[in-house]
């Protein structure tokens, strides 16, 4: 009879495949030839190795490695006695405890998610309040009330990619060479009301080099009929005029750009 290397340290549990009776099994019993044992309940012989579960459950189970084939005689077969009721109850209790711990973890995650969800929603509303108010005007009163609590504001959106300068031009005053007037037509192409943009005017000399630059806020260029607080309505235009004193600059060209107004926190 050949030798068998033991790779089943300690004790464990095996299951009779004929009557489903569970048994405690020791290292010595697993050392029996080819792992063959006799069920103490149904008295049938079976291989204890395939259904063996070690007490060290985190180790990967492997089959015994035989040096060479070994014969089995009836006298070599170990007879296993069924586990006592107390032992089976203990195993079931371990399984129940494991299930309870798993369910407890699930419930803890669920409770944590329910606690964090309102906080995440509140943050999302804070960061997207301007867009929400613009796209869903009915939400604006609620957002304003929300901002009263957080001491923030709900200003009009300011997206320069949806604003355009339809036309512009410089006009000199014949009676005064140092006086020029800038005319421009601004258009809001967004489907919602936007804040009036800032305007950056650059005056250039004959070599197209800047000789002066200034930024104008809406209050500087809006006509009396327009309201900065009301904003530029969707798909609407506003005509503006700026009177400038160029002194000794003598500009011959200019560049006019839109600037996004900073959103107040």
* pLDDT at 20 (0 to 100): 79
Average pLDDT over residues 177-201: 92
- What pLDDT shows up at residue 247? 79
Spatial strand order in the sheet of 253-259: 210-216, 198-204, 253-259
In this structure, what token pair is assigned to residue 111? 């409770």
Span 219-238, average pLDDT? 91
Instruction: For residue 89, name the pLDDT band (cuts at 50, 70, 90).
Output: low
At 174 the pLDDT is 81
Structure-model confidence comparison of residues 61 and 135, the more confident one: 135
Give the pLDDT confidence score for residue 6 in this predicted structure: 44
**Cα end-to-end distance, the chain, whole Å:** 86
pLDDT at 17 over 50: yes
Q: What pLDDT, on the 0 to 100 scale, is given for residue 265?
A: 53
Res 141 pLDDT > 80: yes
Task: Supply the pLDDT for residue 41.
Answer: 76
Is the pLDDT assigned to residue 178 strictly greater than 90?
no
Q: What is the mean pLDDT of residues 13-18?
A: 83
- What SS3 string covers the chain? CCCEECCCCCCEEEECCCCCCEEEECHHHHCCHHHEEEECCCCCEEECCCCCEECCCCCCCCCCEECCCCCCCHHHCEEECCCCHHHHHHHHHHHHHHHHHHHHHHHHHHHHHHHHHHHHHHHHHHHCHHHHHHHCHHHHHHHHHHHHHHCCCCCCCCCHHHEEEEEEEEEEECCEEEEEEEEEEEEECCCCCECCCEEEEEEECCCCCEEEEEEECHHHHCCCCCCCCCCECCCCEEEEEEEEECCCCCCCEEEEEEECCCCCC
Report the topology of domain 160-259.
Immunoglobulin-like (2.60.40)
Look up the pTM and report it. 0.52
Strands 4-5 and 198-204: unpaired
Domain parsing of the chain, residue ranges: 4-83, 88-150, 160-259
Residue 70: per-residue pLDDT: 37
Show the tokens assigned to 48. Answer: 């204890």
For residue 182, is pLDDT > 50?
Answer: yes
> What integer best gives the mean pLDDT of the chain?
77
């Amino acid at each position: 009879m050949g030798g068998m290397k033991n790779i089943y340290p300690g004790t464990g549990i095996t299951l009779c495949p004929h009557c489903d009776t569970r048994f405690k099994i020791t290292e010595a019993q697993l050392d029996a030839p080819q792992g063959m044992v006799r069920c103490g309940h149904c008295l049938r012989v079976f291989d204890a190795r395939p259904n063996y579960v070690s007490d060290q459950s985190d180790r990967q189970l492997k089959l015994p490695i035989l040096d060479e084939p070994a014969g089995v005689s009836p006298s070599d077969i170990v007879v296993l006695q069924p586990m006592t009721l107390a032992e089976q109850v203990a195993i079931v209790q371990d399984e129940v405890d494991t299930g309870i711990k798993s369910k407890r973890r699930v419930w803890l995650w669920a409770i944590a998610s329910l606690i964090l969800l309102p906080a995440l929603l509140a943050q999302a509303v804070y960061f997207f309040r301007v867009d929400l108010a613009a796209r869903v005007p009915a939400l604006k009163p609620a957002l304003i009330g929300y901002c009263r609590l957080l001491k923030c504001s709900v200003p009009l959106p300011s997206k320069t990619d949806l604003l355009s300068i339809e036309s512009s031009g410089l006009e000199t005053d014949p009676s005064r060479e140092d006086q020029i007037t800038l005319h421009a037509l601004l258009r809001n192409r967004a489907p919602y009301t936007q804040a009036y943009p800032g305007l950056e005017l650059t005056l250039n000399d004959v070599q197209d080099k800047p000789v002066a630059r200034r930024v104008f806020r809406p209050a500087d260029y809006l006509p009396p009929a327009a309201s900065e607080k009301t904003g530029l309505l969707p798909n609407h235009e506003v005509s503006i005029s700026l009177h400038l004193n160029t002194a000794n600059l003598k500009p011959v060209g200019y560049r006019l750009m839109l600037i996004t107004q900073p959103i107040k926190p």
